[in-house]
Each structure stands twice: as structure tokens, then as C-alpha cells.
């Protein structure tokens, strides 16, 4: 039975109300109306894409966390922290060289295993520190090399670093065409004549001081092809091209020799300090980092 809006009762098959003539409501067909199960299935089907999206997002977040954790662990283990102006702050290993000493009373220092340094990002993982056993001179050089050091009775000292197994290791002039690679650093200590004679080819003040002390000109002169850059009144950088034996020690081989030297005419200074980097031309950035670190360490001594 169907009930009209006017509350009149009409038959099940009636389309219009017998009392007021209004159209009667049509009952849902059992064959076309969705069942409760069908409605639930429809809702579930709509939820599947959403669940897949959520699963993808969750997977992405998990992967990002794993990568971030791995990078944090890696950076912690190599001790690299990114800083400004293309530098990184890094802890590099310190290798203590076999050291020959001129005074038997000299005792090795308790040196650290690593040294903190700010260095160019591109070479940070390629270098290590090398030092005599008293820590007088610490220099950067390619990692995995070997080294020797000398400390004289007058306090002067040197550190020489070269590739393991390289036979052509020497100070001074290299044989023409030599492909020897080397990092060599030295200091004259308080020996006034030593520092004046070392620095007089590159510093006018040193040449004048030598002339005043010994009444003769500087015992050596720099080659005309040696390139000199004045950093300040007390520091100069220089470069001897391949085949030129100049103030770089060593120099004259197949590779350019880049160097730095200091000079202070103050009697209270620690003498003249110098370093030479001899590497293939493709390693210019490495030499730049090595020389730059030496400048920052010993440029004001």
C-alpha cells in the first residue's frame, strides 16, 4: 500500500493518488538499489588509491631518513663540516716523520693524532699532515706519502715529504726532466746570517741586511723567469717553471715548483720559513692549498 501526502491510502500499483491526484513516490527496485555490501565495497575501492598514496609518501620519508642518517654518520667519521667561502673544516691525520736531531737531549713531543684545518673542499680528502717528532714544522702533503725530518743543533729544521718508493728525492736542483714530486719545508731558526742569505734573493730588506752584516752582496740571485708575488712586506710566493732551478727547493725538474718564504728583520723573530710544492700541473689546486696552509701557520713568525 502507498500513502499519499494527503494521507490517503492507494494501491501498491497506483501511480497517482486517488484522493488528490498527486504523483506517488516510486519505491526502490530491489534489483537496482545498491546493497549495504555493495556500498561498503564502493567506499573501500575509493580508499585504495588513497592508501597507496599514503604508502608511497611513507616510503619516501623512510628512505629520506635513512639517507640523512647515513650522511650524518659518514660526515662524522671523516670529520668534515662545510663552512663558508668554499672551505671545509676537517680533521686530518698527523704523520710523525722519522727525525734526525742534532742535540741528543731533544725529546719527541706528544703530538695529536689529527689536526683541525680549514681547507678547500676539492682537496680535503686528498691530504694529510706531516711533522718532525717535536712538532716544529707541520706541513700538508698528499696522503699516503712518506717523510723524513731533520732538527739541527742550532734549532733549524726541515720536513721532506715524497711519494712512497720515489727514488729521486733531493733538495736543491732536480735533474732536467725529473718527474719527482715533493713537499719540502724548512726554517732557519734564530741564525741571523742563515735567514738573511736564504731570503736576500727575494726580499730587498734581507739583501740590505746581508750587505750591512757582511759587507758584500747577497750570495745568490733569483732567475729572471722565476715569478714572484708579494703577499705583504714579510711574505712572498714564487714559482719556478719546469727546467728552472730557482729559490724553490727543489726545482728544475719537469714540473713547476711553487714556493713561499717569510722574512722578518726583527731579531726576536723565529727566522725565515719557506716551503716548496712540486706536483704535476694538474695538481695546481693541491699546491695552492698546501702553500696557503703554510702561509696561515708560519707567515707571521
Provide block-wise average pLDDT over 10 residues at a time, the chain (301 residues): 68 65 55 47 50 62 50 41 69 96 86 94 93 97 96 94 84 90 95 94 95 95 96 96 96 96 84 96 95 93 77
- DSSP letter for 225, please: T
Are the CB atoms for 299 and 235 separated by under 8 Å? Answer: yes
Residue 251, Ramachandran bin (φ over 0: left; ψ between -120 and 50: alpha; else beta): beta
Res 71: pLDDT: 41
DSSP bridge partners of 91:
116
Res 19: pLDDT: 65
Are the CB atoms for 259 and 276 separated by under 8 Å? Answer: yes
pTM for the predicted model, two decimal places? 0.71
Are the CB atoms for 291 and 272 separated by under 8 Å? Answer: no
- DSSP letter for 16, please: B
Whole-angstrom distance, CA of residue 162 vs CA of residue 188: 22
The domain locations on the chain are 34-78, 80-298
Give the DSSP letter string of 226-240. Answer: -EEEEEETTEEEEEE
> What distance lies between CA 222 and its chain's CA centroid?
34
176-to-173, 221, 243, 251, 276 alpha-carbon distances in Å: 9, 20, 6, 9, 18
Amino acid at each position: 500500500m502507498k500513502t499519499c501526502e494527503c494521507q490517503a491510502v492507494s494501491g501498491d500499483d497506483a501511480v497517482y493518488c486517488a484522493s488528490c491526484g498527486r504523483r506517488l513516490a516510486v519505491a526502490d527496485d530491489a534489483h537496482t538499489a545498491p546493497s549495504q555490501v555493495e556500498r561498503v565495497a564502493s567506499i573501500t575501492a575509493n580508499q585504495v588509491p588513497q592508501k597507496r598514496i599514503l604508502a608511497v609518501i611513507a616510503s619516501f620519508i623512510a628512505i629520506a631518513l635513512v639517507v640523512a642518517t647515513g650522511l650524518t654518520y659518514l660526515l662524522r667519521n671523516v670529520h668534515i663540516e662545510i663552512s663558508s667561502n668554499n672551505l671545509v673544516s676537517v680533521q686530518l691525520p698527523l704523520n710523525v716523520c722519522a727525525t734526525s736531531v742534532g742535540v741528543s737531549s731533544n725529546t719527541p713531543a706528544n703530538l695529536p693524532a689529527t689536526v683541525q684545518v680549514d681547507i678547500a673542499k676539492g682537496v680535503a680528502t686528498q691530504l694529510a699532515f706531516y711533522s718532525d717528532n717535536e712538532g716544529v714544522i707541520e706541513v700538508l702533503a698528499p696522503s699516503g706519502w712518506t717523510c723524513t725530518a731533520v732538527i739541527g743543533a742550532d734549532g733549524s729544521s726541515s720536513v721532506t715529504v715524497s711519494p712512497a718508493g720515489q727514488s729521486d728525492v733531493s733538495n736543491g736542483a732536480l735533474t732536467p726532466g725529473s718527474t719527482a714530486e715533493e713537499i719540502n719545508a724548512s726554517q732557519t731558526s734564530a741564525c741571523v746570517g742563515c735567514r738573511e742569505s736564504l731570503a736576500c734573493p727575494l726580499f730587498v730588506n734581507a739583501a740590505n741586511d746581508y750587505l750591512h752584516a757582511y759587507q758584500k752582496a747577497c750570495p745568490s740571485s733569483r732567475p729572471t723567469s722565476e715569478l714572484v708575488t708579494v703577499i705583504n712586506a714579510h711574505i712572498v710566493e714564487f714559482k719556478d717553471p719546469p727546467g728552472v732551478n730557482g729559490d724553490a727547493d727543489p726545482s728544475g725538474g719537469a714540473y713547476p715548483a711553487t714556493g713561499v718564504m717569510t722574512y722578518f728583520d726583527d731579531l726576536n723573530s723565529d727566522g725565515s720559513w719557506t716551503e716548496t710544492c712540486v706536483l704535476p700541473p694538474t695538481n695546481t689546486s693541491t699546491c695552492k692549498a698546501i702553500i696557503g696552509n703554510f702561509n696561515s701557520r708560519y707567515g707571521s713568525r
